[in-house]
Structure 1
């Protein structure tokens, strides 16, 4: 079996492990090799897997595989150790692409439907942030480039004016000093309908949206 990258190999192994309700321990994780065994290896289960990079084919291959797990799951859990936020982010990426404002509870429902596990709110929220970053770029990087973009816009359109509104950040009931959150940005563009009349339009360019 061939895979295009190391990440796709690990993702496939994780998905199989989660669906089976079993777990594994990583014994070797290198840029060109990934080797793992069942957590019950030597105690009732001989499952192991080794994948390696094949340079001539420019792909990854499963070089050793002992077949299905023979261990028995004796405990029932609401979550799985390998069902981390990165794995969930890859799963919900298509949902984020179609709806940036998807609710965290919808992410939890999607994971439950796909894997039959109920993850915590925090894990689902973190997965959504990672999925958004993969689709639209990192929030912090975007925020840092925003002033440059706004300056270029006002230079290109000299009659434009930009208004940025921020809000204070509170920790419980106390305001956090030196920290504010972006609420919205308005662009004002003044143009003339004729020599005597002028019109001012004010429209939002960006805003802060709750992730609840």
Structure 2
């Protein structure tokens, strides 16, 4: 069910961390006294990246809003690597305040089981790849991280990292659906006569309706250029739907026209919560009202249950 919130609340930026500027990590393999970082998250990720590249393990000795201290796991055995970073309130930045130099306790190879090598670290590494192309394949991202760490990460770990990067860049699923009302307003402001119909459902808590919150139910939209262009197309439309297979599911419906040169033209779009006569009628009635009011239109469709039932319904004409 597509029952995500469709209110116009601003996301809470206080809990958002962007990896922009961190994607290259500590590529020099070194730290130095006075080196600065914008946030504690950058501090933590840089130390993780450093230790993973050198195949070493460390312990967190102190971590809070003003100080971050880590040292080598073998510190008690004579290995002196330690780094201490502190938040400088005057500069509003984190700085390296003490650093004992590069690790001397090293393993011969980097292990994919390194305890710090989780998908959060991989997310920071692939962030710019995803930002440049959200459709970048997992295989390409696996190759990119392999060139950095010397071994190939599992498909699932890189997939989780990409999913997190996408959420950092574009917002998570709830935020994306929450943006729909603003997205609709922007479309209408950009193109006059754009048709958009957003349907929401009330929230019920213990049998009572919560008037303060509404959830996404259905969305229909078309653009004025599509409406105008259909006047010069064949009196034929093809209707198809594709299942949405991510977190909330549902179905994306499209009506496609064809001009005299057999070029394809999408004319209307809709997001509905599944396949049945009610959803199909919602789509077809608005298609007819806003784009195809003329008689004699031939409709081609697959065995989409919702469309078939809607076409056969008595009130569909």
More strand by share: 1
Deviation at 1:142, TM superposition (A): 0.8
Q: Size of the alignment, in residue pairs? A: 186
Find out whether 1:102 has 2:136 as its counterpart: yes
Q: CA deviation at 1:95?
A: 1.0
Structure 1, residues 118-165: CA drift from partner, whole Å, max 9, x if none? 2222110110001111111112321244367559968x7475662795
Measured after TM superposition, the shift of residue 96 of structure 1 is 1.0
Structure number with greater CO (CA < 8 Å, separation at least 6) is: 2
* Cα distance, 1:182 vs structure 2: 3.5
Compute the TM-score of the two structures, normalised by the length of structure 2.
0.50
Match of 1:83 in 2: 117
How many Å separate the matches in 1 of 2:50 and 2:171? 29
CA gap of 1:51–1:116, structure 2 versus 1, over 3 A, is same
Aligned to 2:162: 128
What is the rounded CA distance, in whole Å, between the counterparts of 1:187 and 1:28 in structure 2?
59
Question: Where does residue 49 of structure 2 map in the other structure?
Answer: 15
**What SS does the aligned partner of 1:51 have?**
strand
| Matched residue SS, 1:81 | coil
Partner of 1:36, secondary structure, is strand
Tell me the CA shift for residue 25 of structure 1. 1.1
User: Using the alignment, how far apart are the partners of 2:54 and 2:195 within structure 1?
Assistant: 62
1:40 aligns with 74
CA distance in 2, matches of 1:21, 1:158: 56
Between structure 1 and structure 2, the one with the greater Rg is: 2
Of 242, 249, 253, the match for 1:181:
249
1:167 equivalenced with 2:243 (yes/no): yes
1:168–1:124 Cα change, 3 Å: closer
**Equivalent residue, structure 2, for 1:6:** 40
Picking from 83, 91, 102, the partner of 1:57 is 91
Q: CA-to-partner distance for each residue in 1:7-52, whole Å, 9 max, x for gaps?
A: 2222221221111111211111101111111111112412111100
Assess if the C-alpha contact under 8 Å between 2:131 and 2:169 holds in 1: yes
Aligned partner of residue 87 in structure 2, secondary structure: strand
Give unmatched runs, 5+ long, in structure 1. 170-178, 189-199, 207-212
SS of the residue corresponding to residue 107 of structure 2 reads coil
Q: Which runs of 4+ in 1 moved over 6 A?
A: 151-154
RMSD, matched Cα: 3.4
